[in-house]
Every structure is written in C-alpha cells, then in structure tokens.
Structure 1
C-alpha cells in the first residue's frame, strides 16, 4: 500500500494543483520511486489510497502501469475523498483498504524519497513467521525531526520512549513498514474493517500500544531517505 491521500499543506503552492506524490523528483513522480522498488522486488499488486486530487493520480497511472525496464504495476485505489469527502489519516486509511490487502502487507508513504531501499521478500517471510504485529524501518533523525519517534532495542524491538530522553536513543519512523492484517482488527484496532463509518484515525497510538506489548519489531535503515515535506527539500533533491 502506498499512502497518497495527504493535502501537502507545507508544499503549497506546488500542491494546489498537483498531489504531492506526483511532484517530480529527478525526472519521475515522487511516488513512482517506491512503486518501482516494489515491482522490482516482485510485489506487483499495489493499492494506493487517495484524497486530495486523487483523480489525478488515478488518471496518471490507471489500473495497470508499465514501468519501463522493470515490469507492470497492477493498481487498486481507495479513494477516500470520493467515498467520504476527506482523508482518513493513516490508520483510518489502512482500515478502509483492509478488505483489499493481503494477510501481510507493506506500507510506504508516497512522499518519502528512499531510492536505495529494497522491499525484501526475505523480510516478509521472517515477519510472517514471527509473533509481531508490525515491523518498522527507522532512520537517523533528520534536522526537521531532531527528537525522533521511537527507540530500538538490541533485540530488534521498536520502543515507545518519551521524547524527553536523549535524542540519540530515538530514531525517526521512515513510514516504511510491514503490517499484519490482524493489527487493524479487534482487539488491537476498533475500526470495522473497511471503515464504513469513515473514522479518521492516526497510526501512532496503535503502534505505541503494540510496542508496549513487545509486538513491534524494527530495523535501522541508514541509506538515503528524505521526507519531501517542503519545497526547499524538493529543490535540494532535484539539484543533485
């Protein structure tokens, strides 16, 4: 699943007429970088949730998108704006799409640039046989998030630590993760699968509760990673 429903307020005016995931980074739409990486790794069936200007994303890629020299992405959409008139946030959006997702699935935001990340099938296999509900990829803290998000234990568990602790013990959530369907069902999540009530809900509270139960694994990723959240960051990427 690629998350592509956000308004991109900090990217205005660039996002007034173009959804942020379609903004060009080094010659191709930002969201196409993870699409290509998924297809290259053998994950050809991708669901995209949309809201703001979602029709432009669907118009650009359609239901089947050939990616030159890589393969074909077979796409499904969860159009939150069309269905409800607003974006459902991350947990609400995943719950909305849940009936169309596999028992174990990747999620990545369509507005992060991670050109060297590999969506490893072995990671999926290891996660599938584990007792974890989620596995996150964390990155060193960028300047815009100096306090980080989560800790990482020596045993490879994500930790729900207060941000008042030494920032060196915390890392930033890259948005890349593996999830188990059960994580978005009772007893862990009280949103009905398919989210017919259109509940907008953030993901962090679910993750933190699961971390407290020792049910979230994590890996530190040290390759290039950029949250393309401002026009300045976009310009820096395109200046290379």
Structure 2
C-alpha cells in the first residue's frame, strides 16, 4: 500500500521556530519529526510515500530527497498555498492510486504499529475509511469524537468516552470524491458525511501519542524519544 504524510501546515503555534524552518523537519531525538514516520513505515514494508508541502516546502524536499536515506521512495505534492487536510489529500490522489492508502499527520509522535495499516486496508469492507483515535488529551485538539458499539466513528454524545482523531487513518480514494482538487477543504466535513452513512470505522489506541503542536510538546517528544532509545519506553 501507499502512505501519505501531511506536511503542508504553517505551524503557527511553533513560531518563531517555524518562521524559517518547516515544522516536519524540527528534530525529535536527533531525527526530523517526519523522519520517525518514514523509518517506521519502511520497517513494515510501506515504502511508497507521498508528502505534501506548502510552507518552506523546498526545504523539505532538499532534506528528505527521494527518501532513500530512510528506506522509502518519496513523491511530493506541492501546494502553492496550504489546501487544508482534505484539500491536500484530494490534490495528491493521482499519486496515491486506486487502492486504499494510509495518511499520517506529519506533526504527531507515536508508537502506533504501522503494520496494522495494510491489514486495516484489506478489511475496510464497505467502509470508506478507518480512523485511529485516542482518548481526549488534556490540551486542545480537534472535534470530540466517539466509537459506537459497531466500531463506527461518530460525533461525541453525552455519556460517550470523548476521543480525538489521532492523525492516523486509512482511506479509500472515494472518501474524497466530494472534494474539488486544488481547492482548500477541511477534513471534518468529510468525516461527517461518511459518519452519517455509517461508512467510517474506527479503533481506540492507548499507546504513545502526542500532538507536537507547541514548543513544550516538542520538548516532551524529545524526552520520549530519548527514553525510547534507552529502552525506558516500550
């Protein structure tokens, strides 16, 4: 299968670090944040990777090149201005092919088992997508979601365990059929369309996960990376 890593964001909350440096290249444990994803994808045999970029995108291409240093083959989907998540994926569809593909946010740090992505792709059935979710964090994240008894994603209701989309997913290309390529589009409306049709399945993940959206969380990711290499986190 192919995978896409989202790397077009401006990283406003990381300023001034991201004024002159793209967020995906900020280092965590001596490795670019995006490099952790590339290496872990390569380890499980997912070697065809698409990366979108907008802000300082030429620096991303210069640093990562063709991906061979990480054991993958990278194709780039350049955006003149960031198209938001759904818009960026829709623009990259010609590079992703006709089969289900994985999408990973470039600004998360996680030990989620990427080997599960291909298994998930093979078991989508009639679903258009599959979301990995985590329990709601103690800092602001996206819209609260939940998982129903049938394993389908839905908007969080009273009494539900509030969860957050973890930025790891598998989609069929048809998930983005309503998005006009080249136009900016957020991801939540696409989620809601698929949830209304009960075509978006989900799973709960309780392992290591962090939205690296602030300098403080970048420092936390660095600490975790060091602990991992010392064998303190498994």
Q: Same fold (TM over 0.5)?
A: yes
Aligned to 1:154: 149
Aligned to 1:48: 51
Deviations 1:34-75 (A, max 9, x none): 1112111111000000000111110001123222xxxx2100
Assess if the C-alpha contact under 8 Å between 2:24 and 2:33 holds in 1.
yes
Structure 1 position 212, deviation (Å): 1.2
The answer to whether the aligner puts 1:233 opposite 2:217 as a matched pair is: yes
**TM-score when normalising by structure 1:** 0.86
The answer to whether the aligner puts 1:183 opposite 2:179 as a matched pair is: no
Structure 1 position 146, deviation (Å): 7.4
Question: Alpha carbons of 1:161 and 1:209: their partners in 2 closer, same or farther (altered >3 Å)?
Answer: farther
Find the aligned partners of 2:179 and 2:91 in 1 and give their Cα distance: 12
Matches within 5 A, 1:76-225: 76-81=75-80, 86-102=81-97, 103-120=99-116, 121-127=118-124, 130-145=125-140, 149-161=144-156, 165-166=158-159, 169-185=161-177, 189-191=178-180, 195=181, 198-225=182-209
Aligned length: 219
Find the aligned partners of 1:20 and 1:117 in 2 and give their Cα distance: 23
Deviations 1:129-171 (A, max 9, x none): x000010000011111378621101211101235xx34x5220
The runs of at least 4 aligned residues of structure 1 exceeding 3 Å deviation read 145-148
Structure 1 position 15, deviation (Å): 0.7
Superposition CA RMSD, Å:
1.6
Find the aligned partners of 1:190 and 1:51 in 2 and give their Cα distance: 19
Q: Which has the higher helix share?
A: 2
Matches within 5 A, 1:31-42: 31-42=34-45
